[in-house]
C-alpha cells in the first residue's frame, strides 16, 4: 500500500504467537475447499457493459504464497487463501452445485426435474450472471424454475436480475421464495441509516485500500463485495413457519424459520431427497458478527444458538452434507453435527460468559478482555470458530449492549465530553502536544499500539491539522491492522491509517440504495426517511400541513410539521392543508433516483401542486442532505 510502513518486530512477534497456538497441521479445509471442483472462468475479470471490472478472480496473486508475511496475521492469511484461491463451479453432492469466489457470498444451484433452483444470487447481477454461465457451460442450459433468498442481507439477493427477469416471475415461470418479513427487513436496513452504514462499509470491506500484503487481503466471510448496482425482485412465496414444505419442479424442500439470528428474516432448509441441509448464514466457517462494524442492530446470540440447536434436532439423521451461503460445505453426518454444535456453543458461550461477568459488575470494556483471556481452546481454536469476521471483543460488547446499553453504570461515563472538547483537555493535562507526542512515541517504540492509538487520538481531535499526530496515529493503527485476525478489523485500521495520511478523498458517492430498493420501499418508509432528514432546529416554530396523493397506487397521506418534527398519517387528507401534492409513485421514484426534479415533473403534468406551493418549497428547504465522505478518524 502506498505510504505503508513495514511490520515492526512487535507486530511480527505478536503474529508469530499464533503459529504456536493454532492447529496448523489440520489442513482439512484446503481439501474441502477444493473438493468437487469442476471449472472456473477462463477470463478472470467480470466486467459490466462499459468494460469496467466488477470482480477480478486474479486480484489476489500474493495469496498463493503459503507463508504469511509479517504484515498479515497468519490466521487471516490462511482464511484469505481459502477464500481467494479456490473459485469456480463445485459439486456439493448429486444434483447440488455452488459458485464460490465470485463475490462476498456463495450461490448454490440445485437441479430439479426440468431446470435449476438457485439459492442466494450473490451481491450484484454481473457476478451472478457469470456464475450461471459457468453452470450452463458445464451442466447444461436449463431454465431457472425458482430462486430462494435465505435471508434479508443484500449479498443474498442483489444479483437476482443477473439470472432471472421480473417478467418471467410475473408470468409465473419462476418462483421467488423468501422468509416471512423478508421485504420489510431487506429494504429497511438500506433506508434510515443507509448513508452512514455505506460510508462505514467502505472501511469494513477495505474498498479504499489497494490489495496486497500491506493492504486489503480479504474480509474473512469472503474477499470483498463486487462493484456493481444490486437489484431486487420481490418474493412470490413467503415461508411463514418451521415445518412448512414445498415441492418445486419435483424438488422437495422443508423449511426452518430462524428470525432474529444472523438476520432478522432468515431460514434454513433441507432437501430430503438429496440429504443436503442448507444452513443459510446461520453457520459459516468463521465466527460471525453479533454486531457488524458497518453498523446495524445487534444480534442476539441466545436466539441464534437456540435455532442452531433446533436445527440439530429437527434435521438429525437426515443429511450427509451441510452447505451455507459463504465458504465451503461440511461433508459427513458426524462432522456435520460437530460443526453445528460447536458453532452453537460458540455463540452460547459468548452470551453466557458476558452476562455472567456483567452480573458480577464487570463493564463493557472490562468483559471482553476477561473473556478473551480465558477462552476454551477446544471451542475457540477450531478453525471455523476463529474471529475472521466477528471477534470475541466486539461480539461481547454487542451482548452487553443488547441487555444493558451503552452505559456501564459509572456516572463518570454518563455524560463525557465529546471527542474534540475532551481532546483539548487531555492535551492540556498531558503538558501540551509536543509532550504528548514524545510520550506516545516512547509507547510506540515499546509496541504499545493500542495505547498509542487511544492517546494520540485525543491530540488528533484537538488539533486535526497536526501532521505529526496524524502520522503517529496512522502508524499505530497500521500495526494493529497488521496484527488483526479479523478481516473487517484489519480493513478498518488500515483504511483509517490511509485517511489520516492522505485525507478523505472524494471518490464519488455510491448509492446507498439501488433503483430496485428505492422502488420497493414503502411510502411509510419514505416518509420515515423524510422525518429523519428534517432539520429539527430549523423546523422549530413552524407549522406546515401537506397532503400527498399518489394517483397510480391511490394512496393518500397527510404530513404535519410541528414542534420540530414530521408526523404523517396514511389514508387521510386534511381540509386545512397548506398544499396538496398530486403525483404518481413512478414519478416520485424518478425524483428520488435523481432522474428528474419535482419542477420537471410538474412542468410535464406528471405532478401538480394545489394550494400554496410556497409551503411545499418551505418544507423542502427544511430537509437535510447527507454527504457521503464525512470524516471518521478526524473531527
pLDDT of 511 strictly over 60: no
Listed residue (397, 339, 408) closest to 371, CA to CA? 397
C-alpha span between 4 and 471 (Å, rounded): 11
Q: Mean pLDDT score of the chain, rounded to an integer?
A: 95
pLDDT (average), residues 588-617: 90
How far does CA 116 lie from the centroid of its chain? 28
pLDDT (average), residues 309-314: 98
pLDDT (average), residues 198-206: 92
Q: Confidence class of residue 508 from pLDDT cuts 50, 70 and 90?
A: low
Helix segments in 315-418, DSSP class H: 333-358, 367-373, 377-380, 392-404
Q: Which CATH number does the domain housing residue 95 bear?
A: 3.60.15.30
Clarify whether residues 202 and 71 are in a common domain. Answer: yes
Q: Which CATH number does the domain housing residue 593 bear?
A: 3.30.1050.10
Looking at 399, 431, 466, which one is the last position of a domain? 399
C-alpha span between 339 and 322 (Å, rounded): 9
Beta-strand relationship, 276-278 and 321-323: parallel
pLDDT (average), residues 126-148: 98
How far does CA 57 lie from the centroid of its chain? 21
Clarify whether residues 534 and 387 are in a common domain. Answer: no
Write out the residue range of the structural domain in which residue 587 sits: 522-621
Q: How many domains does the chain have?
A: 2
Clarify whether residues 537 and 390 are in a common domain. Answer: no
What pTM was estimated for this model as a whole?
0.94
Q: Confidence class of residue 546 from pLDDT cuts 50, 70 and 90?
A: very high
pLDDT of 513 strictly over 80: no
C-alpha span between 372 and 383 (Å, rounded): 16
pLDDT of 443 strictly over 90: yes
- Is residue 481 assigned to a domain? no
Q: Considering only 68-77, 476-485, 592-601, which range has the smallest mean pLDDT?
A: 592-601
Q: Confidence class of residue 296 from pLDDT cuts 50, 70 and 90?
A: confident
pLDDT (average), residues 335-342: 98
- Is residue 440 assigned to a domain? no
pLDDT of 190 strictly over 80: no
- Is residue 442 assigned to a domain? no
Q: What percent of the chain has pLDDT over 90?
A: 89
pLDDT in tens, 231-278: 999 999 999 999 999 999 999 999 999 999 999 999 999 999 999 999
pLDDT (average), residues 120-124: 97
Looking at 382, 399, 416, which one is the last position of a domain? 399
Looking at 399, 421, 441, which one is the last position of a domain? 399
Q: What is the DSSP string of 9-62?
A: HHHHHHHHHHHHHS-TT--HHHHHHHTTEEE--SS-EEE-TTS-EEEETTS-GG
Beta-sheet strands, E only, within 426-554: 544-550
- Is residue 446 assigned to a domain? no
Amino acid at each position: 500500500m502506498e505510504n505503508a510502513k513495514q511490520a515492526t518486530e512487535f507486530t511480527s512477534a505478536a503474529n508469530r504467537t499464533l503459529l504456536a497456538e493454532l492447529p496448523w497441521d489440520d489442513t482439512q479445509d484446503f481439501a474441502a475447499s477444493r473438493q468437487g471442483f469442476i471449472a472456473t472462468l477462463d477470463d478472470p475479470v467480470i466486467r459490466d457493459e462499459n468494460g469496467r471490472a466488477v470482480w477480478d478472480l486474479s486480484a489476489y496473486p500474493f495469496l498463493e504464497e503459503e507463508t504469511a508475511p509479517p504484515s498479515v496475521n497468519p490466521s487471516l492469511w490462511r482464511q484469505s487463501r481459502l477464500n481467494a484461491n479456490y473459485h469456480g463451479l463445485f459439486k456439493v453432492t448429486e444434483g447440488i452445485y455452488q459458485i464460490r469466489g465470485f463475490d462476498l457470498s456463495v450461490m448454490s444451484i440445485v437441479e430439479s426435474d426440468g431446470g435449476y433452483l438457485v439459492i442466494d444470487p450473490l451481491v450484484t447481477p454481473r457476478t451472478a450472471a457469470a456464475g450461471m454461465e459457468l453452470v450452463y457451460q458445464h451442466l447444461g442450459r436449463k431454465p431457472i424454475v425458482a430462486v430462494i433468498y435465505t435471508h434479508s442481507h443484500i449479498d443474498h439477493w442483489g444479483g437476482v436480475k443477473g439470472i432471472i427477469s421480473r417478467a418471467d416471475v410475473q408470468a409465473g415461470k419462476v418462483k421467488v421464495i423468501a422468509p416471512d418479513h423478508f421485504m420489510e427487513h431487506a429494504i429497511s436496513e438500506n433506508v434510515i441509516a443507509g448513508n452512514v452504514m455505506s460510508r462505514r462499509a467502505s472501511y469494513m470491506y477495505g474498498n479504499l485500500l489497494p490489495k496486497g500484503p500491506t493492504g486489503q487481503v480479504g474480509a474473512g466471510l469472503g474477499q470483498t463485495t463486487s462493484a456493481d448496482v444490486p437489484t431486487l425482485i420481490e418474493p412470490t412465496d413467503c415461508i411463514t413457519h418451521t415445518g412448512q414444505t414445498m415441492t418445486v419442479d419435483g424438488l422437495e424442500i422443508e423449511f426452518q424459520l430462524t428470525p432474529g439470528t444472523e438476520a432478522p428474516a432468515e431460514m434454513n432448509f433441507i432437501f430430503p431427497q438429496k440429504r443436503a441441509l442448507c444452513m443459510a448464514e446461520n453457520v459459516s466457517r468463521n465466527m460471525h458478527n453479533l454486531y457488524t462494524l458497518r453498523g446495524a442492530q445487534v444480534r442476539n446470540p441466545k436466539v441464534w444458538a437456540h435455532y442452531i440447536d433446533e436445527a440439530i434436532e429437527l434435521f438429525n439423521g437426515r443429511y450427509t452434507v451441510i452447505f451455507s451461503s459463504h465458504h465451503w460445505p461440511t461433508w459427513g453426518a458426524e462432522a456435520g453435527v460437530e460443526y453445528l454444535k460447536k458453532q452453537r456453543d460458540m455463540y452460547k458461550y459468548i452470551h453466557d460468559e458476558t452476562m455472567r461477568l456483567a452480573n458480577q459488575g464487570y463493564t463493557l470494556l472490562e468483559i471482553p478482555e476477561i473473556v478473551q483471556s480465558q477462552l476454551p481452546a477446544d471451542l475457540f481454536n477450531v478453525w471455523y470458530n476463529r474471529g475472521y469476521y466477528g471477534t470475541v471483543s466486539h461480539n461481547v460488547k454487542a451482548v452487553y449492549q443488547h441487555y444493558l446499553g451503552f452505559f456501564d453504570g459509572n456516572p463518570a461515563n454518563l455524560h463525557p465530553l465529546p471527542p474534540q472538547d475532551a481532546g483539548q483537555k487531555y492535551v492540556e493535562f498531558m503538558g501540551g502536544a509536543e509532550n504528548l507526542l514524545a510520550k506516545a512515541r516512547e509507547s510506540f517504540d515499546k509496541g504499545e499500539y493500542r495505547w498509542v492509538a487511544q492517546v494520540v487520538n485525543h491530540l488528533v481531535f484537538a488539533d486535526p491539522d497536526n501532521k505529526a499526530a496524524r502520522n503517529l496515529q496512522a502508524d499505530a493503527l497500521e500495526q494493529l491492522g497488521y496484527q488483526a485476525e479479523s478481516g473487517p478489523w484489519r480493513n478498518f485500521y488500515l483504511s483509517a491509517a490511509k485517511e489520516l495520511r492522505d485525507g478523505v478523498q472524494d471518490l464519488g458517492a455510491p448509492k446507498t440504495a439501488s433503483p430496485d430498493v428505492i422502488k420497493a420501499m414503502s411510502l411509510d418508509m419514505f416518509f420515515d426517511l423524510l422525518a429523519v432528514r428534517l432539520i429539527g432546529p430549523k423546523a422549530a416554530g413552524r407549522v406546515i400541513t401537506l397532503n400527498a396523493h399518489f394517483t397510480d397506487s391511490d394512496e393518500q397521506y397527510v404530513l404535519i410539521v410541528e414542534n420540530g418534527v414530521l408526523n404523517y398519517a396514511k389514508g387521510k387528507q386534511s381540509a386545512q392543508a397548506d398544499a396538496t401534492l398530486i403525483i404518481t409513485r413512478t414519478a416520485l421514484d424518478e425524483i428520488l433516483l435523481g432522474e428528474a426534479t419535482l419542477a420537471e415533473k410538474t412542468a410535464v403534468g406528471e405532478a401538480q401542486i394545489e394550494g400554496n406551493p410556497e409551503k411545499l418549497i418551505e418544507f423542502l428547504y427544511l430537509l437535510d442532505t447527507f454527504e457521503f465522505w464525512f470524516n471518521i478518524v478526524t473531527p
